Each structure stands twice: as structure tokens, then as C-alpha cells.
Structure 1
Amino acid sequence: MKILLRCITAFFLFVACGKQAKVTSAPHNISERKPNIIFLSIDDLRADLGSYGNTEIKTPNMDALAATSMVMLNTHCQAAVCAPSRASTMLGYRPDSTRVWHLGDKFREINPEAVTMPQYFNKAGYYTVNIGKIFHNYMPDSISWDEPDLKPYPYNTKAYALRDAETYYYTEAALEDQKKQRTTLLEKRKGRKVYGDGWNRGPAIEDADVPDSLYFDAMQTQLALETIDRIKGNKKPFFMGLGLYRPHLPFVVPKKYWDLYPVGSVSPAANPKLPKNAAVMSANSNYELRAYTNPYKIGRPEDAPLPETYSDSLKRGYYASVSFVDACVGKLVTGLKERGLYENTVIVLWGDHGWKLGDHNGWGKMTNFYIDTHVPLIIKGVNQKEGKRIEALSELVDIFPTLCDLTGVDKADYLQGTSLIPIFENPDLEWKDAVFTQFRRRKGVSKDGNEYMGYSMQTKQHHYIEWYRWDNEKKLKGDFADTELYDHFVDSNETVNVAKDPEQKDVVKRLSEQLKKGWRGALPKIK
């Protein structure tokens, strides 16, 4: 309760002082004209890239960007699902302060006076443009941008207004299946409003033999370059949010990317079972994958695993989707270089949370497991020539203050992240003792039908989680429910929950005390 009250207090202090926020000056060692910003969000991108040590996936363009960028190897999201993760990142403070805890929580209704990252940079002199998914799909937050929610033609027409960018297929069989599934859904809902107008149904995978240029993310990338051509002559620098949708389900990308991954060419999950002694509320129900058409029944993680052939297809589909997005990133970077804008553009490439590919017998995100909280974060500064791989613990909430420092924009004092500039300069610097994530387990998803909030803390060695009953009507944490502890020095894949091991009693006590101190207690000790 004390943690929640402190966070609520911090939130109201922010709202109260937002217009007169005290700022801290950043070093002004950049040119008089501030650099442009490309804020590149990639949906459901787990830290599986060549630059993160995966030797099976093909990501040459993101790896090339990483080679001359700051690669944060141990970044964690603040909640492993889109809406709260993105709200936290874009507002600069954590879920108990944004009060956005799950998909349906609309941050602008909850925080009407909040100043988002693009709004903040707009006040600092930036022209702001949004293409694709930066906030959650159905809440683009138009007031955050000079040009909000730009879409490529024909997807900017009325016929597509209610559809989501994740819902487009390209083969006759997939389109027919989608229409059938939508009809069934609309009949079941009997006129009630449904997400994406019911089009978010269809096969989980598709490999159409058609060109990249027909796909939404490729079209978005082309629109981004055309938009840059239109605005690059402005007196103001630009802040462009470009949100790519793949590798979000369904895994729908051109056949040539599937061809990169022949059947049986990718390794199965290293941890295909739920952890031994797993807490009852720790696992998600795989309901996201279940919503699509699959050749096999999709059970819960507690049930039997999928047949190896289909697991292989799903993982190859995910990898193919990442490789497709990689090609989009390559086109964007090449376009910036051709326009002479690359050197004076800060690029932030990030994933909003991880994604299970059979890990813990799960498919999707929405847990506090490491595989869901660990995300890629690649940051290229102005005129940067040298890349660094940085092991220090970091969080998505750190992006906001870091961008301020990289561009010479003063930082507001309400931001709950920490600028990464000191460890960019000295990666061996003693940094945060821990990073923090949380997840609300809804009663309709939890195995036992109860509602919980899980607070997760990752240190260099341990991953510690405390679960509490949660009253979603009052938005209050209730009684303690369970604990998880994973020692990453001996069990990096989180296969055994050792929280109740008598030998870990002192460790649990120490970590529990550390968790109660929260993110403020884990801040770097440097001045």
C-alpha cells in the first residue's frame, strides 16, 4: 500500500506542477539547430536480434545501426503489454503513476493534463509527426502531434477507419477465413462494438508471394521518407514517431522472409515449461494466439505443448516478421543517408515488451517473466561513429530523459527515469541496482479466477516478484499472495522458482526490502 500511495502522490504532484515544472539544464554541446529525432517503435520485438547475440535470426540492418549506436543489453519495460508500456515510456513515469495497468486503460482519459514526449519536444521547438503505432493502437492521442496518425493510402480513407493495421492479409484463403471469422464474431456480439470492427481475426501465419511494397509497414516506411522530404526544409527540427506493427500477430509477411528460415532451422525455446513451483497467477493464458485461426487447439501454459511442427511454424513466422521489419529499418536509414540527414538525426529503436515463442509453454506477452520484460533498446546520437554494448540495467522509462540530454532539451523534474548519458560515456560506471516492472493479472485470465498485481524487480543476479490481490474497482493493492525468485547466475532461463527454498530465506527478505524501496532506492549513486 505504501508503494502505491507514494506513486499516486508523485502523480498528483506532477499534474499540479506540470505547467511550472522545475527543469535541469542539459549539456549543450550540439549545434545551434537541434538534431532531428526518429522515434522508432517496433511492436512485440523481443531482444532477439543479431546484435543481441541471436545467431539464427537475420537482422542485418538493425545490426548495422547497432554497430554505431549505444546498444543497451539489459533494458526492461515497465509492463509487458502494449498500452501501459507505451504510456509509461511516452509520459516518462511508471504504471502506478500513469495508472495505466492494462490494454483498456486509456491514458488520456486518466491523465487529461499529461504532457507526452512529443508534446514536450514540441514545446522545445520540434515539429512533431506520427506514423503508426506509438501509443496503443486505438488511442493515437492526436493532441500530441502537429501531424497525428498519418497513414499510407488507401488506409487513410473512410473504408479503413475502424480497422487496425495488424488486420491485413494478402492471400485469397486468408482473406476468406478472416471474413468468416469476423461474421461469426459480429453475430456473437449482436451489434455491440468490437475491437478493430471485428477484422482482427484470421490465420496466425501467412506467407504470400507478393512484394514488400504491398505491406502496411513497408508503406509506412515509404510514407515516413515522403513526409521527411516535405518537412525537412522547416526551420524547426522534426520529431517523427514511426511505429512498425510487425512482428505482432498475425505473422503476415512476404514469402521471401519465410524462405530465410526453412522448416526446422530455428531452435525451440530453451525453457519450454512453466517454472517448477510457478505461482498460480504468473502465467498468461495464451488468449492472444487463441484469437487467431490455428490448426491445433491453443491451451494454457499449464496444458500440453503445441505439436513441434506448429511451434516451429510460429517461431519461423515471428523471425520472418522481424526480418521484414529489419528491411523497413534498412530502407529508412538508407533514406536518411541519401537525404543528408542521418548524421544530425538521433534514432531511438525500441521494443515495447518481449514475446514468448514457446518459452514457459507460452505464446505472447503479459507476464512478469524475464522473457516478457526484457526488450531491445538501440540509441544513435548525433554524428555518432562508435558503437558501444552496455550491460548496465536500464528501463524504457529512461528514454525520455536520455533524449532530452542528447538534444539539449532541458529535463523536467517529474520524470521517473534516469538519463543514460553517463553510462554512454563510461559503460563501466556503477549504475542502477535494480529495474522495475509490474503486471496486472485480470481475473478472467488468471488460472484461479482471482485478480492480482505483480511487482517485479530485476537485479544483476536475481529476478524477484511479489504478487498481491488487486481490487480493480478501487484500484488498490490488497493482501500479499505469492512470491517468485529466480537466480540468473544459475538459472537464467527461469526454470525453477526458488522463493520458498529455505536456503533462500535471507535472500527473499533482502530483496523484499529492496522492492519496497522502489525505483528511487535503486537510482545510481553518482552525483
Structure 2
Amino acid sequence: MRKINRFLSLRFNTKKVLLRFFILILLITNFDVVEGQNKGNVLFIIVDDLQPMISSYGAEFVSTPNMDSLSKESIQFNSAFCTYPLCSPSRASVLTGKRFRFQNHTNDEEGPSTPSINEVIRENKSLGELFKKNGYFTAALGKVYHGHVPEPDVPYWDLIYDSDSKKRSMEEWSTMTKENRGGRSDHIWKIGNKLKPAGALVWGHLDVKDDYFSDGEAANKACEIISSHKKKDPLFLTLGFRRPHLPLFAPSKYFDQLSDENYPVFASHDRSLRPFDITPKNKGLWNEGMSDKESQEVIKAYNACVSYVDNLIGKVIDELKKAGMYDNTTIILWGDNGFHLSDHGLFRKNTPWQVSNRVPLMIHSSAQKTKGEYNGVVEAVDIYPTLVDLLDLKTDMKKTEFDGKSLVPIIQGNLEKDHKEFAMITAKTRIGIVDRKHYFLLDSVSAEIELYDRMEDPSQLKNLADSSLYDDTKNDYINKVKAAWENVPWRFSKQ
């Protein structure tokens, strides 16, 4: 009898062990792919080279009614900064939530010691992978990454769409009248001779419909996905617009709706670039050798491209409302980096100044307890943990492992308290930090220091580091910068 009881006990314990093992397997399996039926949708809009040239940010001479409307329904972040002011590193950072220092290398010898930024995607769980494993239908439309979706990330996107019609703008250059195009004379000559210079500082417009260009096609695709989406599956839709990246081409109507008044051109007494600002692209010339009138035409073209993108954004949001998905969709609008529009006699990006690093950021969510503006500093790397927190996404990362910090407390109404002490910025050899008061830069090679008052000198014309009155402030910032950037890894990109 005792043997029978021992046998039954052993059998019962074995069943308990097997049951626990089976439950463990279920938990592990559910972590890899979590049902997302109760999750909200996400529309993540990425706009290329968009500085805060939006009316809700105080910009003039531009028409952005749709982004303005979104701002009124969102938290608008007035002091958001990118990780690095170039498309590729900035996007790699926001898609992985990882911060890194970046350098362009032109030879193979430096490669092995500084891993490529493509490996940031390979080494980390990107937003595509995160949402796919949380049961979302994932779609990447337009320019989301810099170029094609990296191979390690392809399996995590249910739909990838990008149009080749971006090439049409160059091909149609010859059909534009002289009145409908302009820019740098040497770039105009090269395009006319079919040389197609990279990053051509030129503008032009055609009397065509919105979907003639790739941005319009991407918006159409987004509307198609939204209108046909099955309500039981949550949607993670990333939508990347190429404009206002150079060349500045858009349908004519967006140029026509803007006035021909004199757009502000950066003033300078000596009109000479600082040594750090001299690059092969500008050849050391103020406004890349263009006259004030030519520079104003470029600024107007930039604004026209912003208005074009604004109309496309409105079209997609209207489709969300028509489909009954708006109230259950988190909408994030983000510019990947800033852009010089004659500021300091420069066009383009990839400088350490605020105009190159500060970006627009708006977040609309059903979790909002208020709407309004937040003036404390935030970073692009904060977007990743914000989405994890906001949508309760399952991840194997601990909060302490994120390089950014969740913005949910701000979204839920805490608009006064500082989110973080400072934001970290970098460009070329400069590393720095930004807080509510100051913008501080340290050259990691020459040890040159720059300190600007953000409130009194937003254009960054007066370097306070030249004054001994700020010696204590400088030393304080030097210590903070060195401590903040000490363990941040390097990445590189071969040209």
C-alpha cells in the first residue's frame, strides 16, 4: 500500500512539474509574440531636415495649418534635440533608442575600431522588431531609415513601401522654366549637364498633383493601409517624408500660396564663415556664394516644401478620423534634424549649433491629461522608452538600459517640472549639453569652448566663453560634458 501511495505521489508531482514547465513555455512564447488586440495604434511621422519651421513654433512666412491643428491636440516639445544632425545617425538612434557619437570616415583603416551605424540596428531591438513582437501590424512607408531597410530589420515589417518617383524631380528639371527654378549657379549648371550633384542646393516646382512626387505616393499608401486595416489588429505605421530635404522640389501650388516678400537672411558685418564652418560643400563662401535674393528664393522653396508635407500630413490624419481610428492612435511628429536657412551664412545641417540640432516634436495620445507646450529639454532617444511606457509594450530591456527617458509624465500633464537636467548634443568633433538656460559645446580635439545663453541669444552670436565672468560656469559644464559623454560608443559611416 505504501508503494502505491509513493507511486501516486510521484506521478502527481511529475504532473505538477510538467504543468509548470508548460506554463513557463507559454510565457516565453507569449513574450516573443504578444497578442496586441487591446493596444492602441501608432502613427509615427518622420520629416526629413525639418527645423521647427511650423507656425505653432512661431515660424513666419510658412503655411502649416495641419501641423498647427495637431499641435493644439498634442503636447508640443519646444526644446527637443536630435542625437546627431544628419539623417542616417539620427534615424538609427531614434529607431533603437540608442545614443552614440558619430564620425564620417573615408578609409577602411578606421572601420574595425568604430562599428558602422548599421550595426546599431543589428545589435539592438529596433522599433519595428519591438512592435512586431508585441503583436502589431508593422508598416514602413517612405524614408524611415536612411536608404533601404537594413537586412536584420526586414522580417519585422509586414509592409515596406518606398517609391522611386523621387528621381523624377531631377529628370524633370529641364521641363521647368527659368522662373520656376533656381539655386546655386554651379549646381544648376551641373544638373543642366545631367551630372546630378549630391545634395544640390537648388529649388524648382511643377504644375503637378501631390502624388507626382514620392512623398505624395507615400501619403496615399498610408491612407490605403488605414482605410483597409482590420480593427482587431493594432497598427504601427511609420511614415517618412523626404521633403524639405534638398533638392527643394514641390508642386507649384505650394510656391504660389506663399508671398514673394523678402524672407529674412542672416545678417553679418564681415560676411565671413568661422573656420569650423568651412566645408567642401560651401567652399568657405557665405550662403554658399549665393546673393541675398537667391538665398531668399531658397528659403521660400524650403517653406513651400514644408507646406507640401503639411498638406500630406493633414490628408493622413483625416483618413484616421474617417476610419474611426484617430481617438485610439498615438501620433508622433518628429523632424530628424534641424537645418540652416542662411543662419551663420550657412545652408544644410551637420553643424553643432542649435539651428542644426533642435527639432520639432509633437505627441498626441489618448493618455493625455492636458494639451499644451513643454519648454524643458528632451531628446530623440526619449521617443523609444515613451512608446514602451505609453503602450505597455513587452520588452526584455530594463528602464535603466534605455539611453532616453520616458516622456509619459509630461504627456499626462506634468508640464512644469524638468524632464531631465540636460540634453546631449554632438556634431563632428563637438560634444555638448543643452539645458533650459545654456547651450554648451566642447571640441574634443582642440578643446575650444562655446557657451551661449539660449534665452538672450537664440541665434548664438555671442560666445560667453570669451568672458572671464563665466569661468565657473564653463568649468561646471566641462565636467558635466566629460562625464556625460565618457562612455558613449562611437559609430562611423564611410563616404
Report if TM-score (shorter chain) is over 0.5: yes
Q: Tell me the equivalent position of 1:117.
A: 127
Write the mapping of 1:394-433 to structure 2, written as runs, cut at 5 A.
394-410=378-394, 412-413=397-398, 414-424=401-411, 425-433=413-421
Q: Is residue 2:140 matched to residue 1:130?
A: yes
Q: Is residue 2:462 matched to residue 1:462?
A: no
Tell me the distance in 2 between the aligned counterparts of 1:125 and 1:226.
21
Write the mapping of 1:313-392 to structure 2, written as runs, cut at 5 A.
313-382=297-366, 386-392=370-376
TM-aligned CA distance change 1:227 to 1:433, over 3 Å:
same
TM-aligned CA distance change 1:513 to 1:275, over 3 Å:
farther
TM-aligned CA distance change 1:184 to 1:337, over 3 Å:
closer
Q: Tell me the equivalent position of 1:146.
A: 157
Q: What is the aligned-residue identity percentage?
A: 28
Tell me the distance in 2 between the aligned counterparts of 1:217 and 1:255.
15
Give the deviation of 1:429 after TM superposition: 1.5
Q: Is residue 2:494 matched to residue 1:518?
A: no
Give the deviation of 1:369 after TM superposition: 0.1
Larger radius of gyration: 2
TM-score, length-scaled by structure 2:
0.79
Give the deviation of 1:274 after TM superposition: 7.8
TM-aligned CA distance change 1:320 to 1:184, over 3 Å:
closer
Give the deviation of 1:112 after TM superposition: 2.7
Tell me the distance in 1 between the aligned counterparts of 2:363 and 2:305.
22
Tell me the distance in 2 between the aligned counterparts of 1:385 and 1:318.
35
Residues 169 and 206 in structure 1, CA contact (< 8 A), matched pair in contact too:
no
Give the deviation of 1:507 after TM superposition: 1.3
TM-aligned CA distance change 1:346 to 1:300, over 3 Å:
same
Secondary structure of residue in 2 paired with 1:377: strand
TM-aligned CA distance change 1:75 to 1:64, over 3 Å:
same
Q: Deviations over 1:444-499 (max 9, x none)?
A: xxxxxxxxx21021111111111123xxxxxxxxxx43121112243221012232
Tell me the distance in 1 between the aligned counterparts of 2:269 and 2:189.
34
Deviates more, 1:414-423 or 1:381-390: 381-390
Residues 141 and 162 in structure 2, CA contact (< 8 A), matched pair in contact too:
yes
The counterpart of 2:473, out of the listed 491, 501, 507, is 507
Secondary structure of residue in 2 paired with 1:246: coil
Give the deviation of 1:226 after TM superposition: 1.1
Q: Tell me the equivalent position of 2:56.
A: 51
Residues 83 and 424 in structure 2, CA contact (< 8 A), matched pair in contact too:
yes
TM-aligned CA distance change 1:86 to 1:304, over 3 Å:
closer
Tell me the distance in 1 between the aligned counterparts of 2:358 and 2:306.
16
Residues 207 and 253 in structure 2, CA contact (< 8 A), matched pair in contact too:
yes
TM-aligned CA distance change 1:117 to 1:261, over 3 Å:
same
Residues 42 and 235 in structure 2, CA contact (< 8 A), matched pair in contact too:
yes
Residues 89 and 399 in structure 1, CA contact (< 8 A), matched pair in contact too:
yes
Residues 271 and 359 in structure 1, CA contact (< 8 A), matched pair in contact too:
no
Q: Is residue 2:279 matched to residue 1:285?
A: yes
Give the deviation of 1:362 after TM superposition: 0.3
Tell me the distance in 1 between the aligned counterparts of 2:378 and 2:168.
30
Greater helix fraction, Structure 1 or Structure 2: 2
Write the mapping of 1:1-80 to structure 2, written as runs, cut at 5 A.
33-80=38-85
Opposite residue 145 of structure 1, the aligned amino acid is Y
Give the deviation of 1:284 after TM superposition: 5.5
Tell me the distance in 2 between the aligned counterparts of 1:463 and 1:274.
24
Q: Tell me the equivalent position of 2:211.
A: 213
Opposite residue 409 of structure 2, the aligned amino acid is P
Write the mapping of 1:246-325 to structure 2, written as runs, cut at 5 A.
246-269=243-266, 280-281=275-276, 283=277, 285=279, 287=281, 299-300=283-284, 306-325=290-309
TM-aligned CA distance change 1:111 to 1:49, over 3 Å:
closer
TM-aligned CA distance change 1:178 to 1:369, over 3 Å:
closer
RMSD across aligned positions (CA): 3.3
Tell me the distance in 2 between the aligned counterparts of 1:272 and 1:405.
50
Opposite residue 59 of structure 1, the aligned amino acid is T
Residues 164 and 200 in structure 1, CA contact (< 8 A), matched pair in contact too:
no
Structure 1: unaligned runs, 5 residues or longer: 1-30, 186-197, 288-297, 441-452, 470-479, 522-527
TM-aligned CA distance change 1:428 to 1:408, over 3 Å:
same
Tell me the distance in 1 between the aligned counterparts of 2:472 and 2:201.
49
Opposite residue 449 of structure 2, the aligned amino acid is T
Opposite residue 147 of structure 1, the aligned amino acid is D
Give the deviation of 1:431 after TM superposition: 2.6
Q: Tell me the equivalent position of 1:434.
A: 422
Q: Deviations over 1:356-384 (max 9, x none)?
A: 00001000000110000110001110275
Opposite residue 302 of structure 2, the aligned amino acid is Y
Secondary structure of residue in 2 paired with 1:58: coil
Tell me the distance in 2 between the aligned counterparts of 1:169 and 1:398.
40
The number of residue pairs the alignment matches comes to 433
Tell me the distance in 1 between the aligned counterparts of 2:78 and 2:432.
18
Q: Tell me the equivalent position of 2:6.
A: none
